[in-house]
Amino acid sequence: MSSITNKTWDELKVGDTASFKRTVTARDLYLFAHASGNLNPLHLPVQDSVLKTAQSVAPSMWVGSLISSLLGNVLPGPGTLYLEQNFQFVERAHLGDVLTISVRLLDKLIKPQVLFDTSVTDQNNRLIATGHAKVSAPTQSVTIQQTDLPGLTLETHDHFTKLLELTKGKPAMTCAVVCPTDHHALAGALLARDHDLITPVLIGPETLIRDIAEQHRLNLSNVEIVDVSLDREAARTAVEMVHQGRVRSIMKGNLHSDDLLGQVVKREGGLRGKGRISHAFVLDVPTQPEPIIISDAAINIAPDLITKVDITQNAIDLAVACGMDKPRVAILSAVETVNPHIPSSMEAAIIAKMADRGQIKGGLVDGPLAMDNAIDMGAARDKHIESEVAGQAQVLIVPNLEAGNMLAKQLTFVSHAQPAGLVLGAKVPVMLTSRADNEQARLFSCVLAALYEDFLNRKNL
């Protein structure tokens, strides 16, 4: 741990200088926008296209705050208090610029006041800002230990944006939206329509749907509505429309998952495919470099070994559809070693060996792995696990529905992940999200459905 020692008024000498360098990052711009409330799109990287700027402009007062940092940390250092500061902003700093922040003591005024010349230049030695700072210098010498500030997690979700780009140019899927009877369910379906992902057919009580649209100013022009009053009947109607060839996908709205899934998985008249139907959550977790797929957290309550094999294969297929080449798959248990008293560890080892023998295709599969050493490289090293999967898993196969559901919802509501959900192994994609999920979750579930359908079409050629 490093320390900082200040300079008192008595120790300061005219001509004393200090400087440091700072690169302008997107994180800086987001954090300053949060702290200041300044949402000017010129300063927000994701909104550059709104004003057609070539590069994000760093807010001038953020640039000025770097002077405050230098005065408070270095010269004079801890104990310094601002009295006055003026700035002239000569040029603009942009995202990616490397700034040099400098101060020079001009004059010692009435104790404890001092006057500094302040400046900020960029990597090309262009003057960005200049000015003068009058501060109250410390009168007592102190040394403090630098401590780490609490970490901050920015809720930026870029992974689904990249996946959305992969759907460009693909024809919109006709989609039966079952019971879009709340704001998020209806807005999510219409948002997916506006991105050319689906052509929605709304199934539910028409009067209620139109009332919600009017209340939230949602555009229902040219949208077909099938007037059905009961949730279960709406789900049955959606499945029938698949068999009639009227729709190519289904989206869950504001109804219980069991009411929809009961119609999807039934043996007579349902949508069962050749293998076991399963579900996968795809989560854009702010702290993770890639999306995380969790399966199965919604359909198979206590899957046996054969069912887990199908769950694993389905999840690998989805990962490949999302552009992951040879996705890394961790079969989770409470431990990373085989323990006969923990059945999930035994099954994980068997599934990993089956993948080695080619009985599960398309991914790198390892298990058993615990959650920590599945996704954290440091934890994997600490436990001396040598594996192509450990520490960098992209797909997590959970022991049972309870574990998967709790893990997915913890990442969503505690870690602020953006979720999307899809039923796999059915005759058509079924977008299955929680009723508590926002319209973005429904939009991105449609992205998954489009990519998964395209993958299956190519696979069956």
Q: At residue 387, does pLDDT exceed 60?
A: yes
What lies within 8 Å, CB to CB, of 354 at 6+ separation is 309, 360
pLDDT at 50: 39
Is the Cβ–Cβ distance between 106 and 14 less than 8 Å? yes
Q: What one-letter code names the amino acid at 399?
A: P
pLDDT at 46: 57
d(CA 120, CA 447): 45
CATH architecture type of domain 276-425: 3-Layer(aba) Sandwich (3.40)
Q: At residue 287, does pLDDT exceed 60?
A: yes
Mean pLDDT lowest among 86-95, 109-118, 132-141, 434-443: 434-443
Q: Which two tokens stand for residue 311?
A: 């769950």
**In which band, very low, low, confident or very high, does the pLDDT at 56 lie, cut at 50, 70 and 90?**
confident
What is the β-pairing status of strands 418-424 and 278-284?
antiparallel
Mean pLDDT of 55-72: 94
Look at 351 and 288; give whichever has higher pLDDT: 351
Q: Which CATH number fits domain 3-145: 3.50.50.60, 3.20.20.70, 3.90.25.10, 3.10.129.10?
A: 3.10.129.10
Q: At residue 100, does pLDDT exceed 90?
A: yes
Q: What is the signed CA dihedral for 311, 317, 320, 324, rounded to 10 degrees?
A: 10
pLDDT at 457: 85
Q: Tens digit of pLDDT for each residue in 121-161? A: 999 999 999 999 999 999 999 998 877 677 776 666 678 88
76 prior amide bond cis, ω within 30? yes
Cα 346-290-192 angle, rounded to 5 deg: 110
pLDDT at 67: 97
Mean pLDDT lowest among 44-53, 162-171, 219-228, 253-262: 44-53
On whether the pTM is more than 0.75, the answer is no
pLDDT at 154: 67
Mean pLDDT lowest among 144-158, 308-322, 446-460: 144-158
pLDDT at 47: 44
* Three-state DSSP class for residue 223: coil
pLDDT at 410: 94
Q: At residue 355, does pLDDT exceed 70?
A: yes
pLDDT at 155: 63
Mean pLDDT of 216-220: 92
Q: What is the DSSP letter of 47?
A: G
d(CA 422, CA 428): 10
Give me the CATH topology for the region 156-273+426-435. Answer: Rossmann fold (3.40.50)
pLDDT at 225: 95
pLDDT at 461: 63
Helix (H), strand (E), coil (C) string for 64-132: HHHHHHHHHHCCCCCCCEEEEEEEEECCCCECCCEEEEEEEEEEECCCCEEEEEEEEECCCCCEEEEEE
Q: At residue 1, does pLDDT exceed 60?
A: no
Bridge partners, 131 (sequence order): 87, 118
> Do you know the residue count of the chain?
461
Query: What backbone phi and psi angles, to 5 degrees, belong to 262?
Result: -60, -35
Same CATH fold, 276-425 and 3-145?
A: no
In the block, tokens 């296209």 appear at 49
pLDDT at 159: 84
Q: Where are the domains of the chain?
A: 3-145, 156-273+426-435, 276-425
